Amino acid sequence: HAQKEWWRSAVVYQVYVRSFADGDGDGTGDLAGVRARLPYLAGLGVDALWFTPWYLSPMKDGGYDVADYRAIDPAFGTLAEAEKLIAEARERGIRTLVDIVPNHVSDQHPWFRAALAAGPGSPERELFHFRPGRGRNGELPPNDWPSQFAGSTEPVWTRLPDGDWYLHLFTPEQPDLNWAHPAVRREHEDILRFWFERGVAGVRIDSAALLAKDPDLPDLAADPEPHPFLDRDELHDIYRAWRRVADEYDGVFVGEVWLPDAERFARYLRPDELHTAFNFSFLSCPWDAGRLRAAVDTTLAEHAPVDAPATWVLCNHDVTRTVTRYGREDTGFDFAAKALGIPTDPALGTRRARAAALLSLALPGTVYLYQGEELGLPEAEIPADRIQDPMYFRSQGSDPGRDGCRVPLPWVAGMPYAGFGSQQEPWLPQPVDWPSYAVDRQQRDPHSVLSLYREAIALRPLFGDGPLTWLPASDGVLAFARAGGVLCVVNLAPTPAELPAPARLLLSSGPLDEAGRLPQDTAAWLRA
Which of 2, 3, 7 has its CA nearest to residue 276? 7
Task: Read off φ and ψ for residue 159, nearest 5 degrees.
Answer: -95, 140
173 binds ligand TEU (CB under 6 A): no
| Three-class secondary structure of residue 433 per DSSP | coil
Least distance CB 245 / ligand TEU (angstroms): 22
Q: Would you say 251 and 257 are in contact if contact means Cβ atoms under 8 Å apart?
A: no
Q: Binding to ligand TEU (CB under 6 A): which residues in 381-420?
A: 402
- Catalytic hit among 206, 231, 334, 373: 206
Residue type, 331: T
Written in H, E and C, the secondary structure of 194-210 is HHHHCCCCEEEECCCCC
Active site residue 26: no
Q: Kindly tell me which residue out of 24, 164, 176, 206 binds ligand TEU, with binding defined by CB under 6 A.
A: 206
For residues 284 and 232, what is the distance between their CA atoms, to the nearest angstrom? 24
Out of 7, 20, 64, 165, name the contact with ligand TEU by CB under 6 A: 64
Helix (H, G, I), strand (E, B) or coil at 312: strand
From the list 5, 248, 250, 307, the catalytic residue is: 248
453 binds ligand TEU (CB under 6 A): no
Q: DSSP 3-state assignment of 234?
A: helix
CA–CA separation, 235 vs 241, rounded Å? Answer: 10
Stretch that binds ligand TEU, among 7-15, 142-150, 266-274, 347-355 (CB under 6 A): 142-150
Segment contacting ligand TEU by CB under 6 A, of 81-89, 146-154, 187-195, 240-248? 146-154
How far from 407 is each of 28, 422, 450, CA to CA, in Å?
11, 16, 18
Q: Which is nearer to ligand TEU, 101 or 526 (CB)?
A: 101
CA 510 to CA 363: how far, in whole Å?
A: 19
Catalytic annotation present for 403: no
Closest to ligand TEU by CB, 277 or 488 = 277
521 to each of 110, 199, 367, 422, 473, how far by Cα in Å?
52, 42, 21, 38, 15
Considering only residues 22, 61, 173, 374, which one is a binding residue for ligand TEU as defined by CB under 6 A? 61
Shortest separation between residue 11's beta carbon and ligand TEU, angstroms? 20
As measured in angstroms, the least distance from the Cβ of 174 to ligand TEU is 6
3-class secondary structure for 321-377?
Answer: CHHHHHCCCCCCCCHHHHHCCCCCCHHHHHHHHHHHHHHHHHCCCEEEEECCHHHCC
By CB under 6 A, residue 149 contacts ligand TEU: yes
Could you say whether residue 434 binds ligand TEU (CB under 6 A)? no
Residues pairing with 368 in the sheet:
12, 313
Q: Using CB under 6 A, which of 106, 207, 442, 508 touches ligand TEU?
A: 207
Q: How many CA atoms lie within 13 A of 114 on its CB side?
A: 12
For the CB of residue 53, give the shortest distance to ligand TEU in the complex, in Å.
8
Number of residues that bind ligand TEU (CB under 6 A): 14
- Is 258 among the residues that bind ligand TEU (CB under 6 A)? yes
| Given 170, 253, 434, 437, the residue binding ligand TEU (CB under 6 A) | 170
Residue 168: CB minimum distance to ligand TEU, A: 10
Q: What phi, psi does 259 have (nearest 5°)?
A: -140, 135
Dihedral sign for Cα 502, 504, 507, 510, please. positive
- Least distance (Å) from ligand TEU to the CB of residue 317? 6
Closest residue to ligand TEU, based on beta-carbon distance? 64
Pairing of strands 95-100, 202-205: parallel
Please, what is the minimum distance in Å from the beta carbon of residue 62 to ligand TEU? 6
Q: Contact residues for ligand TEU (CB under 6 A)?
A: 61, 64, 101, 148-150, 170, 206-207, 256, 258, 317-318, 402
